[in-house]
Amino acid sequence: MRLRLGFLLSIVLLVSCQSTAETTKTVDMYNTSGDMVGTARLLEQPDGVQIKLKLEGLTPGFHGVHVHEYAKCKAPDFKTAGNHLDPEGKEHGLMHPDGAHLGDLPNIEADAGGLVDAELMLPGATLKEGKMSLLRGEGTSLIVDETQDDGVSQPSGNTGARILCGEIKSGNKSESTESPTDPTEFNEKQEE
Ligand SMILES: [Zn+2]
């Protein structure tokens, strides 16, 4: 009897793991020259969205990182991404008493070789539908800044230029359900 219960329990655990595994998203990060310099892996959690950042080619030291309101990374200044994502009308900064924006994240640090391997958390955010969704509308974007976020200055923490950008959109190629084009179909049409 005890064995059977254990078996049932492991099935329940397996099923619940699978449902969270479906809400992941990998975002390609680009610099202002259009080179891909890393990825951000987004993972839906019960209390927010976890972001695993792997980047290269940065200036060693601290950099601000934020989710912005539009999924439009147009070089060279990435201004097309808009302001920090802020669905609740708060002030900027993780240390601001009336903060923070939903898109405000802790600074990341690039090592002496310019590499970043960081795990960040965006509390309250989701990849599912709703006001706090990173995929609402046409999506949002993740931007890394030239310098560190001071945590209080308005409107964006005095972070200097935007240096990396990645678009967070629904319907990424990895999650697409579209079937690949059948090459024989093309041939048949040509013969007609
Ligand atoms: Zn902000």
C-alpha 91 – ligand 1 centre gap (Å): 7
- Asked if the structure places residue 7 within a domain, the reply is no
Q: What is the mean pLDDT of residues 17-46?
A: 86
- Asked if the structure places residue 12 within a domain, the reply is no
% of the chain beyond a pLDDT of 90: 75
CATH number of the domain where residue 155 is located: 2.60.40.200
φ/ψ region of 130 (left if φ > 0, alpha if ψ in -120 to 50, else beta) reads left
| pLDDT averaged over every residue in the chain | 86
Neighbours of ion ligand 1 (CB under 5 A): 84, 92, 101, 104
C-alpha 143 – ligand 1 centre gap (Å): 11
Tell me which residue range forms the domain holding 69: 19-173
Domain count, the chain: 1
- Asked if the structure places residue 122 within a domain, the reply is yes
Q: What is the mean pLDDT of residues 9-32?
A: 70
- Asked if the structure places residue 169 within a domain, the reply is yes
The pLDDT tens digits for 108-127 are: 999 999 999 999 999 999 99
pLDDT of residue 14: 55
pLDDT of residue 177: 41
